[in-house]
Structure 1
Amino acid sequence: MRFAQWFRGLMALLIVSALAGCGNDHDKPAVSAATVDVSKVKLVLGDQAKGLRTVVEASGAFDGIAYQVEWANFQGAAPLFEALRAGAVDLAPAGDTPVLAAATGGAPLRIVGVRRSQSRGIAILVPRDSPIRTVADLKGRNVVISSARGSISQYLLIRALANAGVNEADVNIGFVMPTDALPAFNAGKIEAWATFGVYQAFAEEQGARVLLSGEGINTGLTFITASDEVLGDPLRRQAINDVLQRLAKAFDWARHNTDRYAEVFARVNDIPLPVSQRLQAWGQESLVPVEDRDIQALQTVDDLFVEKKIFPHAVKVADLVDKGVFLPPAEITVR
């Protein structure tokens, strides 16, 4: 209750102060503290494989929030960003290449936070008894990428083939959503599979062999993006800042409570505990504000996909980043 009252008061003060300080807004009606009710603010948080929701609920990071939150879960980044484009979600987490694909397609998004990892949770997998021993052996083979064109898995495959001196045209490449690819792979119907995350952990737990992981190839960057619409609303923009602060605390909790988090993740996602433990063993990274090095790394990825004609045109990554959202409370401003 105290937090809710404090938050409402802060919102009223920030809104009134911002309006009073804008010399070009004299004709706009004043906003009184009595008219501001942050409890009416609602955010729809997009998610993939319940990744954000699980860590939030396990850590209790959203306890005491003064605004309303609704979760919308998706199995991949492509449908998640379609929802953001349609205005159905306000926040969307995704890897580097899906963010670029969405931006290239005109999705109204801004990058507001980043997590960094060692990219162990991205890999090219083959069956345990597969004769494929090196990336060079993929020549003439069928390789499935999850999920859509422009995914982190496709980036890994492109780089891996180039490093091995294999022409992409000499590999039979297909795209299958991970929920469909996993059972097909386990049934021996896929020769090699470029995948990620929980789907990768599931396959490895059942005996899949890692031909090559994304370590040293993929950026390992996962971004939190927000829609232009929600960021343009001062009250919802502030709520997004609070969400980011709480997500950062949630991921820190997960890093220091890996066993507990693995148990919760397994239960919420209805997966075997060993699969969850394997996934968590690859590391949990903190959520932090975007830095210039992240922008440069993402620009490098975009340059490659434009060169390969996977993306029809380049984007200027720096223009996608809004550094004025994920701020310590003392630095918060309303725009």
Structure 2
Amino acid sequence: MLAIRKWAQDKPFLIALFAPQLVTAARDMHLAFRYIRERRVFNHQYPVPHLPTWFTMYRSHRRPLKFTRALFSDFSSFGEEGVEFGDAIFEGVRLFNSGKLDPSELIPTVEDIKQILPLLQSTLSTSFQEIEEDLSNTPLDPSVKDAALQLFANMELEGSFFMLVLVPCWLLYRDHPTRLYRKARLGDLKALEKLLRLDPLVLHDQSIGSRIQALRFTNKTAAYQNLLEAPLKRPKAKITRKKMKYAIAGLISGIATIINKPLTEPEIRALFDAVTLDADGSPIDTDIADSPEAFAKAINRDRAFWLRAFLPDKKN
């Protein structure tokens, strides 16, 4: 943990908290998505859901977001207070960008700092402890495992949508499933094929089915046949360790940009190298491109996606 702690020493609190956690998780996170088309994550097999209810998940951000908040509140060092603190920061930035908040209102008072400093210090300490346990393969506390299983049981629909559709859609297509679904319903055939390859159940959605049948009745046989076969095929791209790390690098850069504490390509690369050093004893993360220009380009591409997700413009 020496390299990770050293990297975090001079970084803003949110960066020191989020970035090492994200990079540590990125090492094996891709493994969770190997069998999503079979509706399986690790050893958990999700049942086929009630289809009309499943399709409502595509039309609302709230239910998947509710699951995400519960996951981070209950099973991360951030806790409920940390999630609320993060929400407040992003809401402040959103209001500032829309001209509804004066910059001075974003600056905390001395009293605010006194009240929140103990929470910040405790949260950061817990975060480093979690990373250390992760890198040393410390077995998960049975009570934590039971609570996590209970959460997934209580919010099975939301949890399965998050794991099987939402996150893979971000990683594979750099898009939100709600946007992809909307494009598909409006007749975007590329979006429709992507959606069907990702989630074969969408073939049974009434709006999507009607769109596909319209192709048949207008004699667009090739397009019709292609979409019928799409649910039998996997997405053209794969969720790899490298792709996961690049997405995380862009996410970290996006968070840093939002809080006006941008990170350079060497700083982000140094974090990936620090995690690799503490985890495996190797001084360089070989998943990251050797070329600074290539890595910077990947960071910029993924940062743009995350910024659109966090701070959507008025058209979205």
Structure with more strand by fraction: 1
Q: TM-score, normalised by structure 2?
A: 0.28
